[in-house]
Amino acid sequence: MSEDDPHRHKWFHDHLTPDLVLLHSIREVTYSGRSPFQSIDIIDTNSFGACLVLDGKIQSSEHDEFIYHEALVHPVMLSHSAPEKVLIAGGGEGATLREVLAHRSVKKVTMVDLDREVVDICRRFLPSLHQNSFDDPRLELHFADARGFLERNKEGFDVILLDLPDPIAGGPARLLYTREFYRLVRQRLDPGGIMSVQAEPASWHDLQEFAAIANTLRSVFPVVRAYRTHIPSFASMWGFITASARLDPAALAPDEIDHRVATRLSREPRSYDGHTHLAMFSIPKHIRQRMAATERVSTDQDPISAY
C-alpha cells in the first residue's frame, strides 16, 4: 500500500485457524465494547461492509450474510410440511429471524439470546440485517441461556434453529454443542419436527468440529444430514447440519424445493433455490471419508472447542 493510503494501518485480523489469518481493511470502527459475556465490535470494512464481530471473530457481514442465513433456515423450514412454531437460539443480529418470518406458515417465533447488548447493538447499527424483524408481532424475545430456557420451558416446536457463537473454550456457547444439549433439543421438538445448527468450518483443512458435531448429533437423532456452502467473509466452506426423527432435507429434489419456495415464502431468497439446495448437500468424497472416520462425540464432560 502507498504511504498516503489512509487505511494502511487499519486492519482487522480474523484468525481463522492457528495457521491462517484473514485481513480486512477497516473504514471505520462503528462500535467497540464488551458485554458481561463477550466482546462486541461493529466494523465497517472495505471488503464486506459492516460486520458483527464477537470475541474477535466475524459473525456476519452485510454483503454476504444472506448466504449463511438462507442456508441455515430454509432447508429445514421447507422440509417441514407447515412450520408454525419456531425456536431460534442465538441469532442476535436478527437475520435468522428475518428469514424465518418470510415463511407464511409461521405463527410464532421464540428467540432466545443470552446477550441483550448484542441484540440492542445490532438493532441500532445493523438495520440491513434484521430489516425490522424484531418489531414483528409473531416474535417472542427472551434474554436467557438457551439451555436453561429449554430446561424450564416445556413448549414444543416444529423447527429449532441453533444460530450460536463458536464453541470457544471459556465462551458462552461451548455447552450448546454437546450430546446432552442435543437430547434436550430433541425433547422439545414436536413429532415430525426438525432442527439445524451452524456447525463450524467444513473445508478440507479444517473439519474437526464439523465432523464432531455431526457425529454427536448422530448419537441422538436417527436422521442427520450435513451440508455446506461457501461464505466469502469467512474465507471458507461453512458447515450446517440438520437432525430429525424422520425428516430428510437431502431427499428433496430441486424442483420440489423451487415449488415450496414459490408457494410458501413471502419473498424470493437471494442465494437459495433448488439447485443451491442440491449442491449444498453434495459433499465431495474426500470430505465424506474424513467425516466418516471421525469418532469424536462432544459431551458436557468433554466438549469440543473451536479455535
Claim to verify: residue 17 and residue 74 sit in the same structural domain = no
Q: What is the pTM of this model?
A: 0.95
Whether residue 306 is contained in a domain is answered as: no
Claim to verify: residue 54 and residue 158 sit in the same structural domain = no
Q: Is 120 a catalytic residue?
A: no
**4 band by pLDDT with thresholds 50, 70 and 90:** low
204 pLDDT higher than 90 = no
Mean pLDDT, residues 126-133: 97
More confident residue, 7 or 68: 68
What pLDDT was estimated at residue 171?
Answer: 77
Mean pLDDT, residues 227-252: 97
**Tens-digit pLDDT profile for residues 154-172:** 999 999 999 998 888 877 7
51 pLDDT higher than 70 = yes
Whether residue 146 is contained in a domain is answered as: yes
What pLDDT was estimated at residue 2?
Answer: 43
Locate 11 and state its grid cell.
486492519
3 pLDDT higher than 50 = no
5 pLDDT higher than 80 = no
Whether residue 45 is contained in a domain is answered as: yes
**1 band by pLDDT with thresholds 50, 70 and 90:** very low
Q: How many domains is the chain partitioned into structurally?
A: 2
Whether residue 189 is contained in a domain is answered as: yes
CATH number, domain with residue 255: 3.40.50.150
Mean pLDDT, residues 116-145: 98
Claim to verify: residue 252 and residue 283 sit in the same structural domain = yes
Whether residue 31 is contained in a domain is answered as: yes
Claim to verify: residue 25 and residue 78 sit in the same structural domain = no
Claim to verify: residue 20 and residue 141 sit in the same structural domain = no
Whether residue 28 is contained in a domain is answered as: yes
What pLDDT was estimated at residue 268?
Answer: 97
104 pLDDT higher than 70 = yes
Mean pLDDT, residues 254-259: 98
Claim to verify: residue 85 and residue 19 sit in the same structural domain = no
Claim to verify: residue 21 and residue 103 sit in the same structural domain = no
What pLDDT was estimated at residue 9?
Answer: 57
Mean pLDDT (the chain, rounded) = 94
Percent of residues, the chain, with pLDDT higher than 70: 97
6 pLDDT higher than 60 = no
298 pLDDT higher than 90 = yes
Claim to verify: residue 47 and residue 141 sit in the same structural domain = no
What pLDDT was estimated at residue 19?
Answer: 83
Whether residue 257 is contained in a domain is answered as: yes
Whether residue 307 is contained in a domain is answered as: no
Percent of residues, the chain, with pLDDT higher than 90: 87
Claim to verify: residue 137 and residue 198 sit in the same structural domain = yes
What pLDDT was estimated at residue 306?
Answer: 80
What pLDDT was estimated at residue 8?
Answer: 54
192 pLDDT higher than 90 = yes
More confident residue, 32 or 8: 32
Q: Which range, of 1-5, 125-129, 268-272, averages the lowest pLDDT? A: 1-5
Task: Identify the domain containing residue 30 by its residue range.
Answer: 11-59
Q: Which of 14, 41, 163, 206 is labelled catalytic?
A: 163
